[in-house]
Chains A and B, each alone.
Chain A
Amino acid sequence: MTTSDVRADVARADAEAVQAHTTDIVAWDVPSAIVAGERFRITVGIKCSSECTLAGGGYGVYDHAGALLASGTLAAAVWPGTTGLYAAEVELTAPAEEGLYRWTAKATDMDLGRPHAETSGSFGVRVVSRPEHLVTIEAVDGATQTPLAGARVVMHPYRAVTDQRGVAEIRVAKGTYRLFVSQTRYITHGVPLEVTADVSTRVELAIEPIPERN
């Protein structure tokens, strides 16, 4: 390459230089407890601060050591309720050992007519060993004794929702937990629960009084 070629290249690059847009990346619907070695899904979304269309933009998901686990392109339509967030569902595989990992999602290949700055965001991945025991929870309205469907059951890190019969089944590892059962309009019920074998428990929820405005 001659000197004048180089000069011409530089001049062209200068003329074409534009400010890269900033982007933000969000990861959601990450399951709260993933069994070691099993497949799971998350959703990744990227937003350009200038509301550029990012359909077809690239993303990558990297593990705690920086290894690339999955990559793909963003969907054509914006995520519902947003004005410029483009998303993609990502299939991943949990590591073989239990633990709380921090993985990263990155925007890659985002030169969609306009350069976009690299961005990354991390999210927690809680991996658990194969759970040994089945916990069955029945949630009822304490006053009427009727089953509560759609009640949220949490035994950190495990979560479930009761079915039409008011029943939820969670597989958990042996251990001592705080069992929470909560439902809209009711006071959250929390009790210690020790799990050494399969166990069933019945929880009664009380209506939460609306604070007086008198």
Chain B
Amino acid sequence: MAKRRDSDQKNRKPHGKAVGRRDFVKSGAAAGVGAAAVFSSSGTALAQVSPSDAIRWDYEADVVVIGAGCTGLPAAIRARDLGASVIVVDQNFDVGGKMLHSGGQVSFGGGDPLQLRDIKGERDPEGFVTAPRLHAVEELTEDPDFLFRDHTDWSVMDAAAQAPYRYNERDLHRAYADNCYATREFLMTNYVRFGRISGTHGNGGMSRARRAVTFLMEGPATDIKKGTISRQDAGIKGVSSSHFAPRYMEDGAKVASPGARVNGAALSRGLEFSAREKGIQFILNRHMDEVIREQQFSGRVVGIRASYSPRLDPQTGRRLESLWQNGNIDERRETIYVRARKAIVIGSGGHGANPQFRSMFYPAWREPAFVSSGWALLGPRGQDASGIIAGMRVGANLAGMHQNLSYGSTFHFPGTLATRDPYTDMLPGHPTFPFRGSTGILLTPDQFQHLIVVNQVGRRFFNEMLVTVREGGAAYPAGPSKGQPRSGMQHVQGDWRNASVDNVRKTYAEPNAIHAALAINEGSRAPDYLSGPIWAIFDRASVERDKWNINPPFTSPTNGFFFSADTIEELAAKIQKGHEFQRVPLNDLVETVKKWNAYVDQGNDPEFGRGSDAPMYRIEKPPFYAAALYPVWHDSYGGLRINGRAQVIDMQGEPIPGLYAGGEASGGGNQHGLGRALVHGYIAGTNAVREPGGTQ
């Protein structure tokens, strides 16, 4: 049940005036723009609807924030702290974005308060962090200049032969380095608790330890002020998730103390609690469709147009509701206009769920079957690139559009079978579980010895032991196994030897299996080339031998991502009949299994080299199983160009007045994880209130 904190929020007016009923452009001729202007079927205008003075605004605030995730929430809170009125608009039914189901690991650095705390061996003010420091003092000691040099180091190459720091925008990372201290402190004063520093995120810098995870302490009840979370809310391992935390919160004893429960829910709900407490308003179930500028390519941005985007439980038909409601504006009209007196901050996330947008980077990803991480949590309109597209429509430039290829988890196989949402392991208990239907069966790379993996026509395409292995991501302590000649404190910034041909040859380790999986195969027919689903095929003997749990909720008998059959012939038929994205028959599956069993008998796999790395097992004992092995688009690099002030920059290199962006909606940075977006949000909120206009 959602907790209600403010029972009469329906009677509350938004900050500033509520400006009456929305009215669209009175007549096209009068406004000078075709009123029959042009909406695509998704409700997004293809041309600016009208000059701002013809719009009747439904709501207004000093700062309008798009997206209630790890860019939007800090931006909103920071702007509010500086006196602005703030409305946050989010397409989803709940606050948190991808941050809510993340691991909660945040990398900053440059001598931030957490590094200083650990150096001094101090505890946190609440006394939750009793674990000792996990790094030596020297590994935590640095300053912003040092961090900036790490983030702009041309010479670092990783084991996938990518250079993740070479293309980072300088201005952006100077500002990042200079604001890490303030952002870490800001989070800690907004109910976010961090454990001890442990390592650094991929592409978060080679030279120092900078990463810490967020936690809450298990207690009798969930109380953000006290820093406690109930056992039910934190999740019960292998059994249930909760509305509070879509993923089970892991044990954090090593970084905090016994009873600490860690993941992104601690970060997200902490920030959300603070935002609501400070009077920030949320319009949820509301998808931003258009950023409106005075003229399409000139002048200030003045507001947004947004459409109603509720999500209905597939079983009950009821609308999904947010966990907390204080500060919610429950607006259900189809289209509304929200005026931004000072600024708009775009924190709408990335493009991983938009097949047309992401196919710019990789045509094979036009396959609509494959989704972005958090598909169930965020729904089909999450990560849809709408914020980026809205910025482009008013003249914004893009940046970092090739940086998707310089991190190994941008798109990959997580190794979770039998679910469309393979990045996360949500159990029943979260309101969105009915959308996915199964938690999935998580297998490590070594466990892939017990199965074979086939493409949409039923053929193997790679050594199964390598299908979920991915390289890339150069971060402290790194070293030869990660592609660098020296590891830890021995690493030298900007040294030519980091990028020597010899070193790259010696350390290259990327198996490239994901590319074989996505490759167009003979199952497709011109002009519709689609990679199609990938299937893990195994038998009863595999399940018994390696003790897999293939029962609900890990699989679903009805969601089309797991099948059981008496024979391989029957299995192929069930897949074709029961899986939504199986467009061609698996005509080669029977032959593939026969060939595989013959390879097992002869002790080697002439096609893909199995047998040298692990034992091979026949697939012979009924019942036979097929579990979908889906790749996921997780990270999103490349988006709106921003400067160090988080202002969106146009094609002439000029800021678009009043428009800010950060996180995955922006481009020019390659650090994996939450740290980048949190700093962007902090900077955007700080600068948004300095814009002219508003009630100040």
Interface size class of A (residues with CB under 8 A): 35 or more
Choice from A45, A81, A85, A190 contacting B614 with Cβ under 8 Å: A190
Taken together as a complex, chains A and B put the C-alpha atoms of A193 and B357 apart, in Å, by: 53
- Encode contact with A along B161-189: 1 for CB under 8 Å, 0 otherwise: 00000000000000000000000000000
Nearest to A25 among chain B residues (CB) is B567
Taken together as a complex, chains A and B put the C-alpha atoms of A210 and B447 apart, in Å, by: 11
A12 adjacent to chain B (CB < 8 Å):
no
**Known contacts A123-B597, A182-B614: A187-B446 contact under CB 8 Å:** yes
A178 adjacent to chain B (CB < 8 Å):
yes
B residues 199-225 near A (Cβ < 8 Å) are 201
B residues 680-694 near A (Cβ < 8 Å) are none
What is the CB-to-nearest-CB distance from B542 to chain A, in angstroms, rounded to a whole number?
A: 11
Nearest to B545 among chain A residues (CB) is A152
- B620 lies within 8 A of A81 (CB): no
Q: Which residues of B contact A85 (CB under 8 A)?
A: 566-567, 622-623
Interface with B: A26-34, A89-97, A128-136, A162-170, which one?
A: A26-34
- A81 lies within 8 A of B613 (CB): no
Q: Which residues of B contact A180 (CB under 8 A)?
A: 614-615
Taken together as a complex, chains A and B put the C-alpha atoms of A82 and B102 apart, in Å, by: 39
What is the CB-to-nearest-CB distance from A176 to chain B, in angstroms, rounded to a whole number?
A: 12
Q: Which residues of B contact A58 (CB under 8 A)?
A: none
- A47 lies within 8 A of B447 (CB): no
Nearest to A83 among chain B residues (CB) is B566
B414 adjacent to chain A (CB < 8 Å):
yes
A195 adjacent to chain B (CB < 8 Å):
no
**Known contacts A82-B623, A190-B613: A210-B569 contact under CB 8 Å:** no
- B622 lies within 8 A of A213 (CB): no
**Known contacts A47-B570, A126-B601: A213-B423 contact under CB 8 Å:** yes
- B446 lies within 8 A of A47 (CB): no
- Encode contact with A along B365-405: 1 for CB under 8 Å, 0 otherwise: 00000000000000000000000000000000000000000
The majority secondary structure among interface residues of chain B is loop
- Encode contact with B along A28-54: 1 for CB under 8 Å, 0 otherwise: 111010000000000001010100000
Choice from A26, A159, A184 contacting B622 with Cβ under 8 Å: A26
- A214 lies within 8 A of B103 (CB): yes
Q: Which residues of B contact A29 (CB under 8 A)?
A: 620-621
Choice from B615, B620, B672 contacting A28 with Cβ under 8 Å: B620
What is the CB-to-nearest-CB distance from B678 to chain A, in angstroms, rounded to a whole number?
A: 14
- B447 lies within 8 A of A184 (CB): yes
Nearest to A184 among chain B residues (CB) is B546
- B103 lies within 8 A of A212 (CB): yes
What is the total number of residues of chain B having a CB less than 8 Å from a CB of chain A? Answer: 48
In this complex, the member of B105, B445, B564, B603 whose beta carbon has the largest number of chain A beta carbons within 10 angstroms is B603
Choice from A28, A32, A182 contacting B621 with Cβ under 8 Å: A28
Q: Which residues of A contact B425 (CB under 8 A)?
A: 213
- B603 lies within 8 A of A24 (CB): no
What is the CB-to-nearest-CB distance from A170 to chain B, in angstroms, rounded to a whole number?
A: 13
- Encode contact with A along B258-272: 1 for CB under 8 Å, 0 otherwise: 000000000000000
- A47 lies within 8 A of B566 (CB): yes
Taken together as a complex, chains A and B put the C-alpha atoms of A187 and B448 apart, in Å, by: 11
B547 adjacent to chain A (CB < 8 Å):
yes
B303 adjacent to chain A (CB < 8 Å):
no
**Known contacts A152-B545, A208-B444: A188-B449 contact under CB 8 Å:** yes
**Known contacts A47-B570, A124-B597: A211-B621 contact under CB 8 Å:** no
Nearest to B634 among chain A residues (CB) is A213
B602 adjacent to chain A (CB < 8 Å):
yes
- B566 lies within 8 A of A84 (CB): yes
Choice from B546, B570, B601, B623 contacting A81 with Cβ under 8 Å: B623
Nearest to B673 among chain A residues (CB) is A214
Taken together as a complex, chains A and B put the C-alpha atoms of A182 and B564 apart, in Å, by: 26
- Encode contact with A along B531-568: 1 for CB under 8 Å, 0 otherwise: 00000000111000111000000000000000010111
- B620 lies within 8 A of A211 (CB): no
A62 adjacent to chain B (CB < 8 Å):
no
B residues 657-679 near A (Cβ < 8 Å) are 672-673
- A210 lies within 8 A of B673 (CB): no
What is the CB-to-nearest-CB distance from B670 to chain A, in angstroms, rounded to a whole number?
A: 16
Choice from A27, A84, A186, A188 contacting B613 with Cβ under 8 Å: A188
A142 adjacent to chain B (CB < 8 Å):
no
Taken together as a complex, chains A and B put the C-alpha atoms of A124 and B603 apart, in Å, by: 12
- Encode contact with B along A172-214: 1 for CB under 8 Å, 0 otherwise: 0000001010101011101000000000000000001011111
B11 adjacent to chain A (CB < 8 Å):
no
B residues 232-254 near A (Cβ < 8 Å) are none
What is the CB-to-nearest-CB distance from A142 to chain B, in angstroms, rounded to a whole number?
A: 14
Q: Which residues of B contact A72 (CB under 8 A)?
A: none
What is the CB-to-nearest-CB distance from B264 to chain A, in angstroms, rounded to a whole number?
A: 9
A156 adjacent to chain B (CB < 8 Å):
yes
In this complex, the member of A49, A81, A85, A186 whose beta carbon has the largest number of chain B beta carbons within 10 angstroms is A81
B residues apposed to A, CB below 8 Å: 102-105, 201, 414-415, 423-425, 442, 444-447, 449, 468, 539-541, 545-547, 564, 566-570, 597-598, 600-603, 611-616, 618, 620-623, 672-673
6 further contact pairs, Cβ within 8 A, besides A81-B564, A100-B601: A27-B620, A82-B566, A85-B567, A182-B449, A190-B613, A208-B446
19 residue pairs of the A-B complex, CB under 8 angstroms, read: A24-B566, A24-B570, A26-B620, A28-B621, A47-B570, A81-B540, A82-B566, A100-B601, A156-B611, A159-B615, A184-B547, A186-B446, A188-B614, A190-B613, A208-B445, A211-B444, A212-B103, A213-B423, A213-B424
For the complex of A and B, 4 pairs with smallest distance between CB atoms: A124-B601, A214-B103, A154-B615, A156-B603
A residues apposed to B, CB below 8 Å: 24, 26-30, 32, 45, 47, 49, 79, 81-85, 100, 123-124, 126, 152, 154, 156-157, 159, 178, 180, 182, 184, 186-188, 190, 208, 210-214
